[in-house]
Amino acid sequence: MKMKVVQCWDDGVVNDIRLTDLLRKHGAKATFNLNPGLMDPEKRGTPGWVKQGVGTNNHNFGFACGKLCHRDIPEVYQGFKLASHCWRHQNAGTIPDSEWIKAAMDARKFVEDIVQEPCPGFAWPCGVFTQGTIDLLRENGFAYGRTTKTTFDVTDCPEPLAISPNCHFKAPDFWQRYAKAKEVGAFYFWGHSYELFRYDEMWDSFESMIKYISDDPDAEWADVIDIVPMLKKGTGNGE
């Protein structure tokens, strides 16, 4: 049986235009986790280098990613899965749980209305979650939630609403984890497309990764939702 390879990307940024074109070129599937409340209805943001601290964080190191706008969503993400990343990237436990689940549900409803299909996936903003917010996701019909912890066996998951991916796409041991994952049949990586900035060398290197996976006879692309039935209760070997 081929290993299922899944990937997801956060925040709905302008670099996703280049990313989705690249993924389509190689027949790769992906899920994009959106914060509609941080996206303008009509005006797309402008990516570029700015002074540290102005629209930047520890991931983009002075690169303002620029958000897509609402009207971009149908075209940019055509053929890909969408999921909730909360309305405005609200971290669990930082606001009342009632406000937090509303933010999670509002984002879900927004993307479902646009793509006219169920979007039961979720990605925890900053990887933060609590037992109370996990319970709220379950009560409201979410099928899975992705954290930012890492694991060698994504299927060893005692809680599908707190899935640990195998690694970030820039992990130095990406290929070692990829090879190890073949033993269990699923590999899951994630990231933000703005972490490729506008460096063609980085984009070329990433495209080589995607092409390698697409050409691997032992692997097949799948959507994140496709590995949920593979999850088995275990110890949860996150690192």
Q: What is the pLDDT of residues 86-126, one digit of tens each?
A: 999 999 999 999 999 999 999 999 999 999 999 999 999 99
pLDDT at 63: 78
Nearest to 193 by CA among 80, 70, 59, 86: 59
pLDDT at 210: 99
Compute the average pLDDT of residues 123-140: 98
How far the first Cα of the chain sits from its last, in Å, is 27
In this structure, are residues 145 and 163 in contact, taking their beta carbons and an 8 Å threshold?
A: yes
pLDDT at 65: 82
Residue 60 has pLDDT above 80, yes or no: no
Phi-psi region of 106 (alpha: psi -120 to 50; beta: other; left: phi over 0): alpha
What dihedral angle (degrees, nearest 10) is formed by the CA atoms of 135, 138, 140, 143?
150
Give the residue extent of every domain in the chain.
3-230
Residue 179 has pLDDT above 80, yes or no: yes
Strand partners, 151: 238
Compute the average pLDDT of residues 46-53: 69
Most confident range, picked from 41-55, 60-74, 198-212: 198-212
Res. 232 pLDDT band, cuts 50 70 90: confident
Pairwise CA distance, residues 172 & 12, whole Å: 25
Compute the average pLDDT of residues 54-78: 80
pLDDT at 238: 60
Phi, psi torsion values for 49, nearest 5 degrees: -80, 135
pLDDT at 48: 74
CATH class of 3-230: alpha beta
pLDDT at 108: 98
Residue 229 neighbours by CB under 8 Å, 6+ apart: none
Compute the average pLDDT of residues 26-32: 98
Compute the average pLDDT of residues 169-189: 98
Using DSSP, state whether 165 is helix, strand or coil: coil
If one counts every other C-beta atom within 10 angstroms of the C-beta of residue 200, the result is 9
